[in-house]
């Protein structure tokens, strides 16, 4: 599943990699989703950050100002939507670790949510970026769950090599920045 | 599409109607979604209210306090999720008007979003409650769009009788409080 450069063209767009290096994966995904929406390829949005609102002032009529609020832990993943009639649901993760992705980066309620989505026939996965390698991988819930099960008694992380094996490598380019729907296509192809 | 009581049992749960009368439809939908999730029937959640966060204080380590924020206009609908593999997307509306539902209750960007979802093969609709009649109706996007088109040059609302004709009546009961997935079943049955 590793994409080795096979032709000169693969080296011909280094500026993109450099430009994107400092950006969080979420920002690249948001850009990709805007691209997909514009082109009519998919309707996928990031959910708003959940906030517990405690106090609201009304300094002027019709203008509410929130003056006390706290971040809440999301009960689901951050992204969902529809692609060719299919429900898509995922969360985005990044690690600066060079050799492994620690499973405790994924909240228990997110795993529960992905499991419920998978059981309902949706496409559930994580997008994981290894910052040092500059690679992005789609890890389907079906593969994630075996690593989660292993973590109960054994290793608490997914080795980079395992992720390359069990995940699907995603092109990081220009438009869209992270073309993860190609990896979803590969997942859907394997469906009955 | 109107459900007349046909047996004694239909009158045997009046406490529910009374109990629910003062509750906003959104709360009943949230309860219904919790029921669907528990029973493994569907995974449908309300999105968090979008908030523009301007200033955050850190009165204590690890405890962020938002001290200035404003409500943002949502760019999509409030509810989405997956039911039997199908993507579901809708917004919830209530009116105290007895004879019609004013179309300006639906933001232009919500109509755009429902249109994009419909084009992508998702199931897009509104749930509309007439408070005075105590009725809830599912209005599919395909029907909504004809009323939206009409509003450009003609009538700016959907008559209650039109909604009964073009929408699907939904049972308001106990568990779930608003069994709108039965109406989605009816919609899906008409699919190729």
A63 domain-assigned: yes
Q: Which residue has the higher pLDDT, B163 or B3?
A: B163
Q: Mutate which of A120, A124, A125, A141 to disrupt the B interface (most B C-beta within 10 Å)?
A: A120
Rounded to an integer, what distance in angstroms lies between the CA atom of residue A151 and that of residue A157? 7
Coil, helix or strand at residue B81: strand
B78 domain-assigned: yes
Q: What is the mean pLDDT of chain B?
A: 87
Q: What pLDDT, on a 0 to 100 scale, did the predictor assign at position B192? A: 64
CB < 8 Å to A120, chain B: 40, 42-43, 82-85
Q: What is the mean pLDDT of chain A?
A: 87
List the one residue out of B143, B113, B136 whose CA is nearest residue B182: B136
CB contact under 8 A, B48 and A43: no
Between chain A and chain B, the number of residue pairs with CB atoms below 8 A apart is 114
Sign of CA dihedral A80, A84, A87, A91: negative
Highest mean pLDDT: which range of A39-43, A64-68, B171-175? A39-43
Residue of A nearest to B44 (CA): A117
Q: What is the CA radius of gyration of chain B?
A: 19
CB contact under 8 A, B122 and A84: no
Q: What pLDDT, on a 0 to 100 scale, did the predictor assign at position B24? A: 83
* B104, B89 contact by CB (below 8 A): no
B58 domain-assigned: no
Q: What is the CATH number of the domain that holds B85?
A: 3.40.1350.10
Q: With 90 as the cut, is the pLDDT of residue A123 above it?
A: yes
Sign of CA dihedral B154, B184, B83, B190: negative
Coil, helix or strand at residue A155: coil
CB < 8 Å to A91, chain B: none
Q: Could you say which of A65, A70, A89 has the minimum Cβ distance to residue B65?
A: A70
Q: With 70 as the cut, is the pLDDT of residue A33 above it?
A: yes
B60 domain-assigned: no
| Percentage, residues of chain A above pLDDT 70 | 87
| Number of domains making up chain B | 1
- CA dist B111 → A29, A75, A192, B78, B143 (Å): 24, 27, 34, 12, 12
Q: What pLDDT, on a 0 to 100 scale, did the predictor assign at position A23? A: 55
CB contact under 8 A, B120 and A53: no
CB < 8 Å to B51, chain A: 48-49, 51, 53, 66, 69
CB < 8 Å to A116, chain B: 37, 40, 43
DSSP bridge partners of A139:
A126
Q: What is the CA radius of gyration of chain A?
A: 19
Average pLDDT over every residue of B6-24: 43
Give CA angle at A28 (A23, A29), nearest 5°: 140
Q: What pLDDT, on a 0 to 100 scale, did the predictor assign at position B154? A: 94
> CA of B137 to nearest chain A CA: how many angstroms apart?
24
Q: What pLDDT, on a 0 to 100 scale, did the predictor assign at position A26? A: 92
CB contact under 8 A, B82 and A121: yes
Q: Mutate which of A66, A68, A188, A191 to disrupt the B interface (most B C-beta within 10 Å)?
A: A66
Q: What pLDDT, on a 0 to 100 scale, did the predictor assign at position B126? A: 97
Rounded to an integer, what distance in angstroms lies between the CA atom of residue B33 and that of residue B39? 10
Q: What pLDDT, on a 0 to 100 scale, did the predictor assign at position B45? A: 97
Average pLDDT over every residue of A17-34: 74
Would you put residue A141 in left (φ > 0), alpha (ψ -120 to 50) or beta? alpha
CB < 8 Å to A68, chain B: 65-67
CB contact under 8 A, A66 and B51: yes
For A133-143, write each residue's pLDDT tens digit. Answer: 999 999 999 99
Rounded to an integer, what distance in angstroms lies between the CA atom of residue B71 and that of residue B183? 32
Q: With 50 as the cut, is the pLDDT of residue A18 above it?
A: no
Q: Which residue has the higher pLDDT, A157 or A58?
A: A157
B83 domain-assigned: yes
B67 domain-assigned: no
CB contact under 8 A, B47 and A43: no
Question: What pLDDT band is residue A22 in, cutting at 50, 70 and 90?
Answer: very low
For B133-161, write each residue's pLDDT tens digit. Answer: 999 999 999 999 999 999 999 999 999 99
Q: Which residue has the higher pLDDT, B156 or B192?
A: B156
For B49-78, write each residue's pLDDT tens digit. Answer: 899 999 999 887 678 999 999 998 888 999
Q: Could you say which of A48, A68, A81 has the minimum Cβ distance to residue B48?
A: A48
For A81-122, write each residue's pLDDT tens digit. Answer: 999 999 999 999 999 999 999 999 999 999 999 999 999 999
Average pLDDT over every residue of A161-186: 93
Q: What pLDDT, on a 0 to 100 scale, did the predictor assign at position A174? A: 80
CB < 8 Å to B65, chain A: 68-70
Range of the domain at B40: 8-46+74-189
Would you put residue B151 in left (φ > 0), alpha (ψ -120 to 50) or beta? alpha
A3 domain-assigned: no
Question: What pLDDT band is residue B174 in, cutting at 50, 70 and 90?
Answer: confident
Average pLDDT over every residue of A46-60: 90
Q: Could you say which of B50, B65, B87 has the minimum Cβ distance to residue A82?
A: B87
B56 domain-assigned: no
């Amino acid at each position: 599943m590793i994409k080795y450069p096979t032709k000169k063209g693969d080296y011909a767009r280094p500026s993109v990699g450099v430009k994107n290096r400092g950006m969080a994966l979420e920002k690249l995904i948001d850009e990709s989703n805007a691209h997909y929406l514009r082109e009519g390829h998919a309707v996928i949005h990031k959910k708003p950050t959940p906030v517990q609102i405690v106090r609201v002032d009304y300094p002027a009529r019709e203008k509410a100002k929130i003056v006390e609020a706290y971040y809440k832990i999301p009960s689901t993943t951050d992204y969902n939507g529809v692609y060719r009639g299919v429900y898509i649901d995922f969360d985005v993760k990044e690690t600066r670790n060079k050799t492994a992705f620690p499973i405790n980066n994924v909240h228990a309620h997110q795993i529960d949510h992905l499991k419920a989505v998978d059981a309902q026939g949706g496409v559930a996965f994580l997008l994981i970026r290894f910052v040092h390698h500059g690679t992005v991988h789609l890890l389907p819930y079906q593969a994630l769950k075996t690593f989660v099960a292993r973590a109960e008694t054994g290793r608490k992380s997914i080795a980079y090599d395992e992720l390359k094996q069990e995940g699907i490598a995603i092109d990081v380019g220009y438009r869209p920045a992270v073309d993860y729907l190609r990896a979803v296509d590969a997942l859907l192809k394997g469906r009955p």
